[in-house]
Structure 1
Amino acid sequence: MTLIAIEGIIDPQVGGFVTRGIEQAASDGAGAVLITIDTPGGLDEPMREIVKSITASPLPVIAYVSPSGGRAASAGAFICMAADVVVMAPGTNIGAAHPVVYGVDLSSAEGEKVLNDSAAYLRSLAEASGRNADWAELAVRQSLSLTADEAVDQGVAEFKADSVAAVLGEVDGFTTVSKQLVVDTDGATVTEAAMSFRERFFHLVLNPNIVYLLFLLGLLALAYELANPGIGFGAIAGFSALALAVYALYILPVNYAGVVVIVLGIALLSADLFFPSHGLLSGSGVVSLIVGSFLLFDSSASFLKVSPALNLTLAALTALFFIFVVRAAVSARRLPDQSGRNAMIGEVGYTRSDLDPMGQVFVHGEIWSAETVDGEAIPQGEEIEVVGISGLMLKVRRTV
């Protein structure tokens, strides 16, 4: 038996992983597929991809909602209803499948179409698997949820089990409704499929909190690079973080107004460094960051929002970053250059040859070509002061 774990938001990486795992299980000659589910929901397209792979698989597919405290909400409920067998761990729940639609008002005519489509879809999946179709429809229309015991009692789940081993014991000999397969788990060994590194990485990146963190870090890195130009580490880090954030924002339901407000917040914080406003610009910038992060994702689902705690924390840290780090970098740039060629101005040395008005001088441990500023002839061995530089020629005068 192949075990496939779904944890967190259902996104394209999870969709691809589960689909590949189901297909690979059939190729490897596995007797069944066990999908463990703990998800608040996710995106519609990868959910439907998983549902199609489950219904098309020649193997019995078992959905196991676990561990205790876990849930199969929203998209997770659709995946469960598509499965041949549903088992729930104690302390889990299933349902709340009201559609999460991006940029569509569900009270509008278009929203009503989306709601009807989702309700009919979940109902059809439940009917095909011999489950409670009336509940399935209400789970969409009224966001109903059931506990593990209630799900078994109301014909939404077939069994309740507290471990994978218990699941194997419960489902052994069960005949599936839609595929008419007899589940044989007697003596079965469980092999867990693993996400690739790429899938794990981008699954992490597609977390809304991580997206906002990357977006903000990218902007901060670029702001620091502009305030303190150097060898480009800030620019490289900034563009890398922004590239990942843009990829995620392309996949997730982004609200571009939120993006604009966040960028405006960084601009206001930057402006306060050059146009002192007694904190007015900085305060406006912090408020813009907070408002922008709340607007960033166009979804009513809590799992597709930036955490309020993270939002406020990052706003405070960003303000401190500008106050102490970026401000220091800007102030350093405003200081006189104390290194390189300009450091020679004001240095005192002596002539190694007659200056009439050109010759050689010894300054700062080195021999330089020099010219007197007023054309005055200065004999060899006289003390001179550097008052300017033109190319590789020092401009000097006799010390007083």
Structure 2
Amino acid sequence: MDHRIPIIIVVLFSIMILIGVSSNSQAQPQKNVVVIYLDEAIDAGSSAMITSTLSSLSNSTTAAVVIDMNTPGGELEDMIQMVSAITSVEARGIITITYVPQNAMAASAGSYVAMATDYIFMANGTYIGPSTPIVVGGTSLEEQHVKSAMEQYMVSLAAEHGRNTTAAYSMVSNNTAYNDTTAYNIHIINGIYGSLTGALASLSLSSYPRIAVYPSAYDNFLSFLSNAYVDGIFILLGFVAIMLDIYHGSVILTVIGITLLILGFLGLQLISASLVGVLLLILGSVLIILEAKMGHGFALLSGVVVGLIGTFLLASPYYSSNPGYSPSPFTTFDVLTSILIVIVAGFLAFYIRRIVRAFKYRGKWTGAESLIGKFGYAVGNIDDKGWVSVDGIEWQARSSTTSSIPAGSKVKIVGREGLILVVEKVEEEQVKIK
């Protein structure tokens, strides 16, 4: 018997094993870890980013998904959509992880999203919670109804993932926040790691390739329009721009105004805006437009004030699809900005009043020469030609004599030639124009 036959059989068998391993390696490529960076408020934009990303994942290519979280919270409706997407991806056998990097937070609505994941890891100097919901403009009964619902929602998420339900309940009922050490000691989180790599290593996932997901331009656009205060201001500014264009005749202002209105009303749809807030905003806008008819400035100022009140009531009410916010959608900065807007509106109302007065005189120009006999001031030196200010409106003018009229001189209108006023110097009074 040939002694080489057993050797040949062993070699062929080894080759077959290697081919099988190679084939199996090609059929089952190494999986990835998808890292979604949630470094913004929870709103329509961030919700679209997370839900669209999670819906596209398969357990054949994805071992785990990480939400790298630093959020102050936001809308409860969008938070619930995120939690639903997380639950769906877990059901497909994909591990879900929340990682809160150093000096970041999983606050308010973000704490519910974190609680929905399989693992929560935090770095030093971070915290999770508080989680009490806010119903803007809601009654005490409505506030309590939403609070009770969110208490049970948080507890169910904690229980599903084996966490401390009593501590989770306190996050909502007592508006409690826990730092990284406390959260770990009371079994709210699964570990404290200074880096995402360390957190993944604890689950034997650090060697997996990572795919980073950031908000797209569209996601950022939705996030921008999901701010109730921004939407209200856009609508008010849109109507103010259109009203001003009635006086100035600038097509650009009208285009800007219409654009702002479209963006503002699109935002109202995104946040399921309160009907009361919308009605007050429209009432304020009508008053602003009426300023073009009245011309005394009070309608403009009143419209801005009413519109701002409506803006603070735009946030979704109890009966809308959005149960509320966590934390409040309005900040101290928004209040201070509103005060500044009212002050600016006061100056603008005064400016409108002066323009209307000037237009009344200008409107008579095509009839009797009503400007003749009026007084004004030389804006600059008037030789053959120059400029004078009459009732706050500047007109081209020339001297009625060959003598030059110095800037700042009081002049009297003695005639006109087309659109050019003929003026003469009033000798007894000189006024310096600042």
What is the TM-score with the length of structure 2 in the denominator?
A: 0.65
1:169 and 2:198 aligned = yes
Question: How far apart, CA to CA, are the structure 2 residues paired with 1:13 and 1:4?
Answer: 13
Structure 2 residue runs without a partner (length 5+): 1-32, 318-323, 370-416, 418-434
Structure 1: gaps spanning 5 or more residues: 175-183, 346-386, 388-400
Is the 2:159–2:165 contact (alpha carbons within 8 Å) kept by the matching residues of 1? yes
| Paired position in structure 2 for 1:54 | 86
- Counterparts of 2:348 and 2:298, CA distance in 1: 17
Residue 106 of structure 2 is aligned to residue 72 of structure 1? yes
Contact 1:267 / 1:285 at 8 angstroms: preserved in 2? yes
Does structure 2 retain, via aligned residues, the 8 Å contact 1:228–1:329?
A: no
Q: Deviations over 1:217-276 (max 9, x none)?
A: 21211211233344x332322122112111222232534444444555566566677657
Paired residues for 1:381-392 under 5 Å:
none
Aligned residues: 326
Q: Go from structure 1 to structure 2 and tell me whether the alpha carbon gap of 1:216 and 1:302 turns closer, same or farther (over 3 Å shift).
A: farther
Q: Counterparts in 2 of 1:240-279, with a 5 A limit?
A: 240-252=259-271, 254-265=273-284
Distance 1:312 1:111, change over 3 A: closer
Percent identical residues: 24
Report if the CA contact (8 A) 2:70-2:101 is conserved: yes
Q: Give the conservation status (yes or no) of the 8 Å contact 2:72–2:106.
A: yes
Tell which deviates more after alignment, 208-217 or 21-30. 21-30
Contact 2:232/2:308 (8 A) holds in 1: no
Question: Aligned partners of 1:127 and 1:199: how far apart in 2?
Answer: 32
| Cα separation, partners in 2 of 1:248 and 1:91, compared to 1, 3 Å | same
1:220 maps to what in 2?
240
Query: Structure 1 residue 85 and structure 2 residue 119: aligned?
Result: yes
Q: Which has the higher contact order (CA 8 A, sep 6+)?
A: 2
Distance 2:271 2:186 in 1: 35
Question: Which residue of the partner structure matches residue 342 of structure 2?
Answer: 315
Residue 98 (structure 1) aligned with residue 132 (structure 2): yes
| Separation (CA, whole Å) in 1 of partners of 2:180 and 2:68 | 14
Q: Report the Cα distance in structure 2 between the residues aligned to 1:206 and 1:240, rounded to whole angstroms.
A: 17
The corresponding residue for 1:192 is 212
Instruction: Report the Cα offset of residue 167 of structure 1.
Output: 2.4
Give the one of 236, 254, 273 matched to 1:235: 254
1:308-327 per-position Cα deviation (integer Å, ceiling 9, x unaligned): 12212222233334434x45
- Are 2:76 and 1:44 aligned? yes
CA distance in 1, matches of 2:327, 2:152: 24
Give the equivalent residue in structure 2 for 1:152: 184
Q: CA deviation at 1:17?
A: 1.0
SS of the residue aligned with 1:169? helix
CA separation of 1:20 and 1:291: change in aligned 2, threshold 3 A: closer
Superimposed CA distance per residue, residues 169-203 of structure 1 (whole angstroms, 9 cap, x where no aligned partner): 234243xxxxxxxxx32323432113232221121
Which residue of the partner structure matches residue 168 of structure 2?
A: 136
String of CA shifts for 1:341-392, please: whole Å, max 9, x gaps.
Answer: x69x9xxxxxxxxxxxxxxxxxxxxxxxxxxxxxxxxxxxxxxxxx9xxxxx
Cα offset for 1:78?
A: 0.9
Change (3 A) 1:276 1:227: closer
Deviation for aligned residue 1:18: 0.3
Does the CA contact (< 8 Å) of 1:289 and 1:315 recur in 2? no
Q: Contact 2:36–2:67 (CA<8 Å) still a contact in 1?
A: yes
Say what the alpha-carbon RMSD is for the aligned residues: 3.5
8 A Cα contact 2:34 2:210, kept in partner: yes
Structure 2 SS opposite 1:119: helix
Change (3 A) 1:210 1:285: closer
AA aligned to 1:65 is V
Whether the 8 Å CA contact 2:133–2:326 is kept in 1: the answer is: no
Kindly tell me: are residues 224 and 6 of structure 1, through their superposed partners in 2, closer, same or farther at Cα, counting changes over 3 Å? same
- Structure 1 residue 136 displacement after superposition: 1.1
Residues in 2 aligned to 1:256 and 1:227: alpha-carbon distance in whole angstroms: 32
Structure 2 counterpart of 1:207: 227
Match of 1:90, SS state, is coil
Distance 2:327 2:345 in 1: 24
Instruction: Specify the SS of the correspondent of 2:36.
Output: strand
CA contact (8 A) 2:73 2:109 kept: yes
Secondary structure of the residue aligned to 1:31 is strand
Specify whether residues 76 and 15 from structure 1 end up closer, same or farther in structure 2 by C-alpha distance, changes over 3 A only.
Answer: same
1:39 positional shift: 2.0
Secondary structure at 2:187 match in 1: coil
1:10 aligns with 2:56: no
Separation of aligned partners in 1, 2:327 and 2:356:
39
**CA shift in 2, pair 1:229/1:276, >3 Å:** closer
CA gap 1:188/1:333 in 2 versus in 1, 3 angstroms: farther
